[in-house]
């Protein structure tokens, strides 16, 4: 939906309601809280609330929150419609009537929606959905098909890597993650490319892209493999998690570690000893993004 100079998209759940991520000037997120629908400001602790927490009407806008002169409390944010903007277009899911057991997905035509069943889950990363089709996978807060959900239920390692560089988390760059055979074993290096492992570079926004580009250097027990990923910046109008403006935090999820032959290696040591780096050269970044150029071979052979 477009609202008060912002474009907001429902993506995921928070407190049992849709959470909206916005790419406007001042609003980062709209979610349901103790004071009703709450708009959180970008890069600050300011927020405005709707005072509709006690209502039985569940969807954003059901209580008039989207009206031009709705009496929001809190800060005078750009989304605070007593003085700014009007409704241009609501996404269909903004006023959906799916049941509590279903997740609303906007259709590509922009005027209709589909109610997708939420699978029954256990506390572990499993789903009891046993038929083909598209489902809402609760643990990952994403829409997926049964085959992919089944694959995602394999054991996962989630590692946090830090790259020290001033304001790197607000910069477009090429990232490189290198694993060594000495700490990880040869089968792990093979599994990166043979389909047994699924590797995702993640953040609290869709910042990173990894398309499976790797490079390998043979050197006996000291062989190594480098993965290239892309950190997207202003073209997506979103940024990742940083810390005190001098470090970018990159989360890496490795799915399927239970089907790797670790050859007696310490799994945690494998991930701890991995090396992560970056390249901010604008030409190299453009070549990688626009022409799928793989610079991992340069890194692994350096």
Instruction: State residue 62's pLDDT score.
Output: 75
Both 172 and 289 in a single domain? Answer: yes
Average pLDDT, the chain: 75
Look at residue 241 and tell me whether its pLDDT is greater than 90: no
Both 199 and 267 in a single domain? Answer: yes
pTM for the structure as a whole: 0.51
258 within a domain of the structure (yes/no): yes
CATH number at 234 reads 2.60.40
97 within a domain of the structure (yes/no): no
Both 86 and 144 in a single domain? Answer: no
- CB 172: neighbour CB atoms within 10 A? 18
Under the banding of pLDDT at 50, 70 and 90, the label for residue 145 is: low
pLDDT, one tens digit per residue, over 117-139 is 665 444 444 444 444 555 554 54
Both 184 and 265 in a single domain? Answer: yes
Average pLDDT on 62-82 reads: 63
Q: What residue numbers bound the domain in which 134 lies?
A: 102-152
Alpha carbons 55 and 32: distance in angstroms, whole number: 12
Q: In the chain, what's the furthest Cα-to-Cα distance?
A: 70
Both 186 and 283 in a single domain? Answer: yes
Instruction: State residue 212's pLDDT score.
Output: 94
Both 13 and 127 in a single domain? Answer: no
Both 137 and 116 in a single domain? Answer: yes
Own/partner pairs, 103-111, CB within 8 angstroms, 24+ separation: 103/136, 103/143, 104/10, 104/18, 105/143, 106/10
Look at residue 263 and tell me whether its pLDDT is greater than 90: yes
286 within a domain of the structure (yes/no): yes
Both 278 and 293 in a single domain? Answer: yes
Instruction: Report whether 206 contacts 279 (CB < 8 A).
Output: no
Both 111 and 53 in a single domain? Answer: no
Both 82 and 160 in a single domain? Answer: no
165 within a domain of the structure (yes/no): yes
Number of structural domains (the chain) is 3
pLDDT, one tens digit per residue, over 18-46 is 788 776 656 778 888 888 888 887 666 67
Both 207 and 295 in a single domain? Answer: yes
Both 194 and 128 in a single domain? Answer: no
pLDDT, one tens digit per residue, over 265-292 is 999 999 999 999 999 999 999 999 899 9
Alpha carbons 186 and 131: distance in angstroms, whole number: 36
User: What ranges in 28-169 are assigned the alpha helix state H?
Assistant: 146-152
Look at residue 157 and tell me whether its pLDDT is greater than 90: no
216 within a domain of the structure (yes/no): yes
Look at residue 176 and tell me whether its pLDDT is greater than 90: yes
Alpha carbons 78 and 39: distance in angstroms, whole number: 10
């Amino acid at each position: 939906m477009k609202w008060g100079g912002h474009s907001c998209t429902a993506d995921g759940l928070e407190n049992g309601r849709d959470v909206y991520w916005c790419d406007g000037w001042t609003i980062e997120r709209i979610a349901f809280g103790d004071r009703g629908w709450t708009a959180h400001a970008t890069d600050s602790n300011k927020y405005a609330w709707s005072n509709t927490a006690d209502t039985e009407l569940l969807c954003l806008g059901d209580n008039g929150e989207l009206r031009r002169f709705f009496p929001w409390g809190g800060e005078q944010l750009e989304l605070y419609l007593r003085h700014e903007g009007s409704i241009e277009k609501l996404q269909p899911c903004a006023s959906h009537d799916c049941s509590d057991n279903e997740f609303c997905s906007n259709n590509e035509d922009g005027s209709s929606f589909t109610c997708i069943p939420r699978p029954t889950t256990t506390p572990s990363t499993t789903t009891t959905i046993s038929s083909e089709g598209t489902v809402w996978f609760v643990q990952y807060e994403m829409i997926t098909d049964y085959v992919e959900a089944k694959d995602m239920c394999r054991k996962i390692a989630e590692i946090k890597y830090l790259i020290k560089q001033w304001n790197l988390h607000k910069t477009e760059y090429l990232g490189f993650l290198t694993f060594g055979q000495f700490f990880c074993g040869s089968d792990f290096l093979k599994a990166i490319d043979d389909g047994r492992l699924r590797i995702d570079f993640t953040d609290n926004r869709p910042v990173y892209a990894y398309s499976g580009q790797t490079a390998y250097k043979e050197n006996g027990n000291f062989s190594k493999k480098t993965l290239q990923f892309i950190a997207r910046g202003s073209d997506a109008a979103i940024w990742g998690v940083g810390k005190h403006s001098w470090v970018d935090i990159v989360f890496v999820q490795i799915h399927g570690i239970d089907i790797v032959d670790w050859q007696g290696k310490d799994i945690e040591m494998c991930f701890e000893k991995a090396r992560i780096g970056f390249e901010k050269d604008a030409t190299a970044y453009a070549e990688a993004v626009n022409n799928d150029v793989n610079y991992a071979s340069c890194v692994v052979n350096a």
